[in-house]
Amino acid sequence: MAYEFQPPAAKTGAPAEGTCIDCHGGSLLNEAGGSVSIGGIPNSYVPTQTYTITVTVRHPTQHRWGFELVPLTTNNMMAGVFTNTTLFTDVQVLNGKTYMGHTNQRGAEGTFPAQPDSATWTFSWTAPGASAGTVTFYAAGNAANNNNLNTGDKIYTTSISATEGSMTGVDATTWGKIKMLYR
């Protein structure tokens, strides 16, 4: 794995971005046998609510792992804020966008060397404020062969979208009408 400490920013497969395959050769993008998946994204997010997000990379013959993820609005602007919840992930900022990815710089092996079959990272994402609209999460995953080179690695991409939901609560005038019904 060529970028064990942290992947270069803007390699998620988002519009106008490359992927990890730009540096890791020897295979086709999204070739059969493996995958990257994003978990914890609701169909509809609540503005400013915090969600626990997971990214999982799988491949039955690989033994080292990496990923990068970015959430963007329909105008390709950064959406929300990341928070590290473990030592295995870290953020970096490029051109106003914040990228969450694996890291080996925070005192832990975030590429999980020699771990077979899959790896999962967990972190938090706080949704943007109201009127951000639909947010699409773009992720690239590296199922590496642990030879400390950029050859023989398998690169996968995925995306998932969440529409903006509404803030929970009852409008004051509605609440007043409800109270009158029960008096």
Domains of the chain: 20-181 (2.60.40.4060)
Each residue's pLDDT tens digit, 130-164: 999 999 999 999 999 999 888 999 999 999 999 99
pLDDT of 108 reads: 86
Residues 155, 31: contact at Cβ < 8 Å?
A: no
Would the pLDDT of 169 be above 90? no
Which comes out higher in pLDDT, residue 163 or 7?
163
Which comes out higher in pLDDT, residue 154 or 175?
154
pLDDT of 6 reads: 84
CA distance 82 to 55: 13
Each residue's pLDDT tens digit, 127-138: 999 999 999 999
pLDDT of 30 reads: 98
Would the pLDDT of 4 be above 90? no
Closest of 69, 28, 56, 38 to residue 155, by C-alpha: 28
- When pLDDT is averaged across residues 48-70 and rounded to a whole number, the result is 98
Instruction: Output the six-digit token pair for 77.
Output: 């602007």
What pTM does this model have?
A: 0.89
The residue type at 123: F
Round the average pLDDT of the chain to a whole number and report it.
Answer: 92
Closest of 80, 92, 17, 109 to residue 101, by C-alpha: 92
- When pLDDT is averaged across residues 109-124 and rounded to a whole number, the result is 96
* pLDDT band (50, 70, 90) for residue 168: low
**Local structure of 20: helix, strand or coil:** helix
pLDDT of 74 reads: 98
- Which of 2-11, 22-31, 142-151 has the least mean pLDDT? 2-11
* pLDDT band (50, 70, 90) for residue 99: very high
